[in-house]
Amino acid sequence: MNFQVKFRILAAAALLAAACGGPKADAPVPAGAAAAGTTTNAAGAAPKTLTIAVIPKGTTHEFWKSIHAGAVQAGREMGVDVLWKGPQKEDDRAQQITVVEDVISRGVDGIVLAPLDDRALVRPVQDAGREKIPVVIMDSGLQGKDYLSFVATDNYQGGILAARRMGELLQGKGRIFRIRYQAGSASTTDRENGFLETLTKEFPAIKVLIQDQYAGATTETAYQLAENLLGRFPDVDGVFCPNESSTFGTLRALQEARLAGKVKFVGFDSSPKLVQALRDGHLHGIVLQNPVKMGYLGVLQIVKAIRGEKIPERIDTGVTLATLENMDTPEIKALLSPDLSILEK
């Protein structure tokens, strides 16, 4: 029996107990007791506002700020408190585990988690289940079945879009780097695999010079790797990067080597500097997720589950490709430069 089934059984039992032990049918219902983001502690008691912990992989990248904005928007609409807390750097597995343990000990009502590592976070999520705290996973996959729903991009499809863009840019031939992010990150691994497998199948004349070098979690480590690779292969024709920090670090290295615009470059995720690079012709394609939607739906699904509603096990939040030609269309512009003003209110 998986965690979702267990959670529904427990929710049904709780509702039955409330029905048997609560006020009679003709008794007045406390005002606000049926509000979307509240639960009633006892007959006649003031309703309890739900607290949902949203735990990202990191807190510095523009991507996570967009996730935060979506989570806050959903929290306000549903009338729940959103506790936003995560590690600063995206390679700090120990810190993310500590955050999960902390919110469990605080007794939050639900957790929305973007796991840094698809194995290392399995046990903390199991711990949440033992404490009857439901979990929704977002952005990056997690092994096991101890969560209710997975809200994320189809990352493999994102890799396919990037490979086809690279093949188009190089007209089916050339030499490229596939720069990876970091081991254990399920989302970027899917992107990297989608890219390499599609490129190999559809563009066999493109040679992948580098395919298993990791950029690491920061812009600086990505810059150092790209600088080293460009020093070894200054005549490379193209580069693919699978996330925001690796894309920006590589952009810096290309610019400093005076190769920006000459080397065909396809990246992942958006930030103001990457948008400008796209406009300047230094970046030739950005695969875009919808992080605002991801954060929004993560909170929405966990609140629905707590209320006893059935939620889907998998929600695809969409993926698309931005280029110089389409970047000013309303749909792409909204993804390139999402509105984050809700975080200032």
Whether the CB-CB separation of 67 and 112 falls below 8 Å is answered with no
User: What is the per-residue pLDDT for 39?
Assistant: 58
Interatomic CA distance for residues 323 and 272, integer angstroms: 15
- Answer yes or no: is 322 within a domain: no
Type of residue at 183: A
Q: Does 246 share its domain with 124?
A: no
Q: Same domain, yes or no, for 67 and 136?
A: yes
Residues 132 and 180 in one domain: no
Same domain (yes/no): 279, 305: no
Is residue 341 included in any domain, yes or no? no
Average pLDDT over residues 154-174: 98
141 with 242, same domain: the answer is no
The structure's pTM equals 0.85
Q: Would 31 be classed as within a structural domain?
A: yes
β-pair type (238-240, 264-268): parallel
- The verdict on 28 and 141 lying in the same domain is yes
pLDDT exceeds 70 at position 37: no
Does 16 fall in a domain? yes
Residues 309 and 272 grouped into a single domain: no
**pLDDT-derived band at 32, boundaries 50, 70, 90:** very low
Residues 263 and 312 in one domain: no
Please determine, for residue 5, whether its predicted confidence score (pLDDT) is greater than 50. Answer: no
- My answer on whether 23 and 120 are in the same domain is yes
Would you place residue 162 in the very low, low, confident or very high pLDDT band (cuts 50, 70, 90)?
Answer: very high
Residue with tokens 């563009």, as numbered in its chain? 203
338 domain-assigned: no
Q: Is the pLDDT of residue 304 over 50?
A: yes
pLDDT of residue 122: 97
Identify the pLDDT of residue 46: 59
Q: Where are the alpha helices (DSSP H) in 143-235?
A: 155-169, 186-202, 219-232
Count of the separate structural domains present in the chain = 2
pLDDT tens, residue by residue, 197-256: 999 999 999 999 999 999 999 999 999 999 999 999 999 999 999 999 999 999 999 999
Shared domain for 99 and 162, answered yes or no, is no
In this prediction, residue 339 carries a pLDDT of 94
52-93: per-residue pLDDT in tens? 999 999 998 999 999 999 999 999 999 999 999 999 889 999
- Let me know: does 72 contact 343? Beta carbons within 8 Å: yes
Residue 1 belongs to what H/E stretch?
none
* 344 within a domain of the structure (yes/no): no
Range of lowest pLDDT (29-38, 188-197, 220-229, 251-260): 29-38
- We report the CATH number of the domain holding residue 141 as 3.40.50.2300
- Are 309 and 244 within one domain? no
Instruction: Indicate if the pLDDT at residue 16 is higher than 60.
Output: no
Summary mean pLDDT of the chain: 90
Q: Distance of CA 335 to CAs 7, 19, 239, Å? A: 35, 46, 22
Residues 6+ apart with CB under 8 A from 138: 67, 112, 113, 114, 150, 151, 152, 294, 295, 297, 298
In this prediction, residue 7 carries a pLDDT of 47
Answer whether residue 328 is part of any domain: no
What's the domain range around 275? 155-288
Same-domain check for residues 109 and 183: no
Which one has a higher pLDDT value, 329 or 6?
329
Confidence at residue 114, expressed as pLDDT on a 0 to 100 scale: 98
Average pLDDT for residues 117-142, to the nearest whole number? 97
Please, which pLDDT band fits residue 345 given cuts at 50, 70 and 90? Answer: confident
Does 337 reside within a domain? no
For residue 15, pLDDT over 90 is answered with: no
Quickly state the pLDDT bin for 38 (edges 50, 70, 90). low
